[in-house]
Amino acid sequence: YLGLGAVCFSTLERGTEEVRWEQGKVAIERIVKEILPDETSEEVILEKTANLTSVVRRLADSGNPYIYERRENAWSYLGGLYVAVSTVTTIGYGNIYPVTMGGQMFLVIFSLIGIPLCFMFIGYLGALLASSAEYAFNLRRQERSRSSLMVTVLLVSMGLVVAELLIFSLWIKYGLDKRMSFWDSFYFAFVSFTTIGFGNHGFYNGDNGNIGKVVFTLLIVIVCLAPLALYINLVVRDVMTAASPFLARMGVSEPGDPETEMIAKTKEFQGEYGATDQPEHPSMSE
């Protein structure tokens, strides 16, 4: 899968660095013209642009993380909160991160406790969503078979994921940063909620003009992880359920130990969504 993906990405993205340097040069040239409005000689402008480009390239190579996202003081309290959330959710935006040894050591300890804590919350929220979905559908029709309940909850989680992606994108575009296109916001939302978090674009840069909005966004991000986690978990479970006899035959587990722990866990899971306080419906043909 990785190999195939690599071929596709390679084809799609090859050569884009040069394109971006070209775009960068255009931006630099514009700055040059702004600074020297009276300069009319094309040659001079080109020369200054080339000089400034090499300056930028050297700055980019210098590795000073401060230069990438302009911030007056990223490490205000809000910056600390941003990094804390970014760490504990494992998104790891990467536009702001600790660089001192003390900060890094603290981060290690902070995550060892914070990540399980956050996962615990996400777990409970996800379980709550799943139970609520199940309860809602149980109310309507008492005679759901187990598998259709599972499918229902899966569909509900997918619906939640799509809804939250759309709503969050709208918030990012209209609430936080109008310059972003809707597609960019959507992509950013997706990358955040899956906790991939590329970090070429975080949503906080040290600009403390919008404290309330940034804090609100941080909280929303944490909460929004639950539906996607639930969705991914359900898909994994479905794959494992379908594959479990096959895997068992492959000798994935030692015979005798909490055997195909997978099968046992899957049965447990099926039991959970199987409306245990209702009588089994005789015909599962639904």
Partner 1 sequence: MRCSINGKAIAAFATFCTVLVYLAVGAAIFQAIEESHENEQRENYEQQLHELLKGVDENFHAELKAPCHMVEVLEATPNVTNTWTFAPTVIFCLTVVTTIGYGYMYPVTDEGRGFCIFFALIGIPLFMACLAVYAQHTANFIRWVCKRLRTILGGKNEENETVQQIVTVVFCLLVILTFSAYLSYKEGWEYFDSIYFTFISFTTIGFGDLYPTSDDTLFYFLFVFFIILGLISLGTVIEAQTTNFSKFLTFISNTCECMCGKCLTVEKDTMSEVDDVN
Instruction: Write out the binding residues for partner 1, residues 71-100 only, by CB under 8 A.
Output: 73-88, 90-94, 97-100
CB of 251 to partner 1, least distance (A): 11
The residue among 167, 157, 223 whose CA lies nearest residue 193 is 223
Of positions 150, 153, 224, 262, contacts partner 1 by CB under 8 A: 262
| Residue 62 CB contacts under 8 Å (≥ 6 apart), including other chains | none
**Residue 66, CA distances (Å) to 20, 25, 80, 217, 278 in order:** 21, 21, 15, 23, 61
- Show the tokens assigned to 179: 């310059």
Residue 104-143 contact track with partner 1, rule CB under 8 A, x = bound:
x-xxx-xxxxxxxxxxxxxxxxxxx-xxx--x--x-----
**Residue span binding partner 1 (CB under 8 A) among the ranges 141-149, 169-177, 189-197:** 189-197
7/284 with CB nearer partner 1: 7
CB of 50 closer than 8 Å to CB of 58: no
Pick from 155, 163, 239, 284: which binds partner 1 (CB under 8 A)?
239
Q: Is 120 helix (H, G, I), strand (E, B) or coil?
A: helix
Contact 203, 99 (CB under 8 A): no
Cβ closest to partner 1, residue 276 vs residue 285: 276
Q: Does 233 engage in binding with partner 1 (CB under 8 A)?
A: yes
Which candidate, 168, 171, 161, 204, places its Cα nearest to that of 189?
Answer: 168
Q: Of 10 and 40, which has the nearer Cβ to partner 1?
A: 10
Give the separation between CA 55 and CA 35, rounded to whole angstroms.
Answer: 16
Q: In angstroms, rounded to a whole number, what is the distance separating the alpha carbons of residues 31 and 35?
A: 6
Q: C-beta of 17: minimal distance to partner 1 in Å?
A: 5
Number of H helices, E strands in the chain: 9, 0
Considering only residues 193 through 212, tell me which ones interact with partner 1, judged by CB under 8 A: 194-200
Taking CB under 8 A as the criterion, which residues in 150-179 touch partner 1?
A: none
How many residues belong to the site for partner 1 (CB under 8 A)? 136
- Which of the stretches 147-155, 167-175, 217-225 binds partner 1 when contact is defined by CB under 8 A? 217-225
Q: ∠ CA 43-48-50 to the nearest 5 degrees? A: 95
Provide, rounded to whole angstroms, the least separation between the CB of residue 104 and partner 1.
Answer: 5
Tell me the C-alpha distance between 229 and 127, whole Å.
Answer: 10
- Output 58 or 285, the one with its CB closest to partner 1: 58
Residues 12-71 close enough to bind partner 1 by CB under 8 A: 12-17, 20-21, 23-24, 26-28, 31, 34-36, 48, 51-52, 55-60, 62, 64-70
